[in-house]
Amino acid sequence: MTETLIDPLLNAADSALRTLSGADTAARPRPMAKAAPVELDAAQRRLSGALMRVNHVGEVCAQALYNAQALTTRDPALRRQFEHAAREETDHLAWTQDRLRELNARPSLLNPLWYAGSFAIGLLAGRAGDAISLGFVDETERQVEQHLDSHLQRLPIDDTASRAIVAQMKQDEARHGAEARAAGAAPLPAPVRWAMRLASKVMTSTAYRI
Q: Determine the 3-state secondary structure of 158 from DSSP.
A: coil
* pLDDT at position 1: 47
Query: Model-level pTM?
Result: 0.86
Q: What is the DSSP letter of 155?
A: S
At residue 172, φ and ψ (nearest 5 deg) are -65, -40
Enumerate long-range contacts of 47-51, CB under 8 Å, 24 or more apart.
47/154, 47/155, 47/156, 48/103, 48/105, 48/155, 48/156, 48/159, 48/162, 49/100, 49/103, 49/104, 49/105, 50/105, 50/208, 50/209, 51/151, 51/154, 51/155, 51/162, 51/208
Q: How far apart are CA 46 and CA 5, in angstroms?
A: 44
The answer to whether residues 65 and 119 touch, using CB atoms and an 8 Å cutoff, is yes
Helix axes 130-154, 160-182, angle to 10 degrees: 160
Nearest alpha carbon to residue 56 among 113, 105, 97, 22: 97
Specify the pLDDT at position 109.
87
CA distance linking residue 208 with residue 210, whole number of Å:
6
DSSP 8-state code for residue 106: P
Pick out the chain residues at pLDDT < 70.
1-18, 20-23
Do 171 and 177 contact (CB within 8 A), yes or no? no
Residue 18 has a pLDDT of 65
Query: What pLDDT score was predicted for residue 164?
Result: 94
The one-letter amino acid at 27? A
> Among candidates 56, 40, 28, which has minimal Cα distance to 155?
40
Residues with Cβ within 8 Å of 4's Cβ and at least 6 positions away in sequence, in order, are: none
DSSP string for 13-34: HHHHHHHHHT----SSPPP--S
CATH 3.40.50.360 holds for 43-207: no
